[in-house]
Amino acid sequence: MPSADVLRTIGNVRETTLGNGLKILVQEIHTAPLVSVWCWYRVGSGDEPAGLTGVSHWVEHMNFKGTESIPCEEMKGIVERAGGMWNGYTWIDQTTYLETAASAALDQMLFIEAERMARGLYDPAECEAERTVIISELQGGDNDPEQLLETEVTATALRVHPYGHPTIGWLQDVQAMSRDDLYTFYKRHYVPNNATLVVVGDIDADDVFRKAERQFGGIPAGSITRHKRMAEPRQVGERRVLVEREGTTAYLKLAYPAPAATEPDFFPMLVLDAALTGAKGVSLWNAFREAPPQRKARLYSALVERGLATSVSGSLLPTSDPFLFTVSLTAATGVSLDRLEEAALAEIDRARRGGLSGQEITRAKRQLRTRLVLENDSVTSVAHQLGYFSTVAGPNYLSQLQARIDAVTPEDVVRIAGQRLGAVTRTVGRFQPLGEAA
C-alpha cells in the first residue's frame, strides 16, 4: 500500500491521499476489460487574474505537446497503440485530462499523467504555434452568432467575478501572453496537492494505489497560491446586450443568477430548469451531447410548439461559486425578437406567479433521475463524475445527489422561481442579424 493518509471507502469508491497531497479515487467495474484514467487539477478560468485570461486553456493545450520523457509526436501514439482514446478540457473551476483504453495499458496511462504533471516541456516554438491555433479558435467562436452572444451575455451578467470572462480568454490577453507566463502558471498549479487522480474500470484498487505511488509519489508538493475570486455584487436592475452582425438567424438569451453546487437552492433550481426546458442532468461531459426530453417542458410547449422559436434550451451546471442559469432561444423565421422576448418573459413570469404543477415537478424529477443513470453509462463517464464533483463540490456530494433531488418539494420550486427569475436580476441578450428590423 502507498505511504498515504487513511484509506476510505465511500460506497463503491476507495479513496486515499499520497504523502505529497495527491488524492486518488478508485472504483472497480469489471463488466469489460477497460480502464479510464482522469487527472483533475483544481484550476480553471475562474482562477485567472486580469491580463492572463485564457491561460488555463492554453496550458491545457501545451500539456499535449510532449514532456521530458515523451516526445510530442509520441504522446498520442502511446494510448492509440492500446486501442484507446484520450482527451482533456478546461472550464471555469477545473482542468482535466483523460485516457480510456484496455486495462493492460494502465501503467502507460499513469506514466503519461505523471509526466504531464511534473515534466512538461513548453518549447517556445510550440507555444507560439499554439498561440495561432487558439487565436483561430477564438475568432471562430466570435464568428458564431450564438457563441458570441453567450460570451457577451456572460460578461455583462458577471462584471466582477472571473467566471465572467470566457475560458478561451480575451483576444488581447492571448496575443500578449508569453511562454514564461504559461510555464509559471503550469508550475504553480500542476502539483500533486492540487490534483485528483481518478481510475475506474477492470482493475484491482490496491494495485492502482501501488502503481500510482510509484509514478506520482516522488513528485514534490507545491505551494499553491490562488487568485482571489471577488464575489459578484448583487444586481440591482435588468441588463441588456444587443449584438448586430451579418447573419440569417436571430437569437435570444436570458440569464439569471444561479446558486453554487453546494448551496441548498441548487437542487430546486435543477428541477425548475428540467420543468422549464427539459432535464439535462449534471454532467459537463454528457449533458449537451443529446437533446433533453422536452415534449412537455413548459417553455418548449409555449414557444416552440406555437411556432415562435425553433429551439429552446436551458443551462444550469454545478460550479464552485454562484454562476448563471441561462435560457437560450432561436427565433423562428418571421418572428421578431420583440415578440419572442415578450412571449418568453410572459411564460417565465407565469411560472413565477403561479408556480409549476405537481405533475410537472414530478415529471422533471423523474427525468433527472433517468439522466443521472445515463450519465454513468461507461467507465469513462463514471470516472468523469467522480473527478468533477470531487473537484467542484468536495467528497460525498455525488453519492448524495439523487437523494437531494428526490427531497425537492413543489414549494421549493415555487420559491426558487420567485426568488431567482425576476426582472431585476436578469440579463437579456439579443443577436439581431443586420438588415432585419431591430
pLDDT in tens, 301-319: 999 999 999 999 999 999 9
Q: For 393-423, what is each residue's pLDDT tens digit?
A: 988 899 999 999 999 999 999 999 999 999 9
Torsion angle (degrees, nearest 10) of CA 360, 258, 44, 141: 70
Whole-number Å distance between alpha carbons of 373 and 59: 33
Burial (Cβ within 10 Å: 0-12, 13-18, ≥19) of residue 125: exposed
Q: Is the pLDDT of residue 351 over 90?
A: yes
> In 3D, which of 329, 352, 325 has the Cα closest to residue 341?
329
Q: Residue 383 is inside which H or E element, if any?
A: helix 379-392
- How confident is residue 206, by pLDDT bands cut at 50, 70 and 90? very high
Domain boundaries of the chain, sorted by first residue: 8-216, 239-433
Q: Which fold has domain 8-216?
A: Cytochrome Bc1 Complex; Chain A, domain 1 (3.30.830)
Contact at 8 Å (CB) between 230 and 160?
yes
Q: Give every strand in the sheet of 309-315, ordered side by side.
A: 239-245, 427-433, 251-258, 323-331, 309-315
Q: 313 forms bridges with which residues in the sheet?
A: 328
Whole-number Å distance between alpha carbons of 56 and 168: 8
Q: For 366-384, what is each residue's pLDDT tens digit?
A: 999 999 999 999 999 999 9
Residue 69 sits at the vertex; the CA angle it makes with 68 and 71, to the nearest 5 degrees, is 85
Q: Is the pLDDT of residue 5 over 80?
A: no
- How confident is residue 2, by pLDDT bands cut at 50, 70 and 90? very low
Contact at 8 Å (CB) between 299 and 276?
yes
Q: What's the pTM?
A: 0.95
Please tell me which of 71-80, 221-230, 275-284 the model is most confident about, judged by mean pLDDT.
275-284
Which class would CATH give 239-433? alpha beta
Q: Per the structure block, which three cell numbers stand in for 245?
A: 452582425
pLDDT attached to residue 73: 86
Q: Which of 6-10, 118-122, 181-185, 261-265 comes out lowest in average pLDDT? A: 6-10
Angle between helices 106-118 and 72-80 (to 10 degrees): 150
pLDDT attached to residue 1: 45
Q: 197 forms bridges with which residues in the sheet?
A: 24, 39
pLDDT attached to residue 144: 95
pLDDT attached to residue 68: 95
pLDDT attached to residue 396: 85
- The pLDDT mean for the chain works out to 94
Per residue, the 3-state secondary structure of 353-382, as one string, reads HHCCCHHHHHHHHHHHHHHHHHCCCCHHHH
Whole-number Å distance between alpha carbons of 52 and 144: 24
Q: Is the pLDDT of residue 291 over 80?
A: no
Q: 346 forms bridges with which residues in the sheet?
A: none
CA 207 to centroid of chain Cα atoms:
31
Q: Is the pLDDT of residue 165 over 70?
A: yes
pLDDT attached to residue 437: 46
DSSP for 34-84, written as a single string: EEEEEEEES--GGGPPTT-TTHHHHHHHHTTS-BSSS-HHHHHHHHHTTT-
Q: For 48-63, what is each residue's pLDDT tens digit?
A: 999 999 999 999 999 9
Whole-number Å distance between alpha carbons of 273 and 161: 23
Could you check whether 8-216 and 239-433 share the same CATH topology? yes
pLDDT attached to residue 4: 52
Q: Per the structure block, which three cell numbers stand in for 104?
A: 493492460
Whole-number Å distance between alpha carbons of 258 and 267: 11
Torsion angle (degrees, nearest 10) of CA 182, 53, 285, 383: 40
CB hemisphere CA count around 368 (13 angstroms): 27
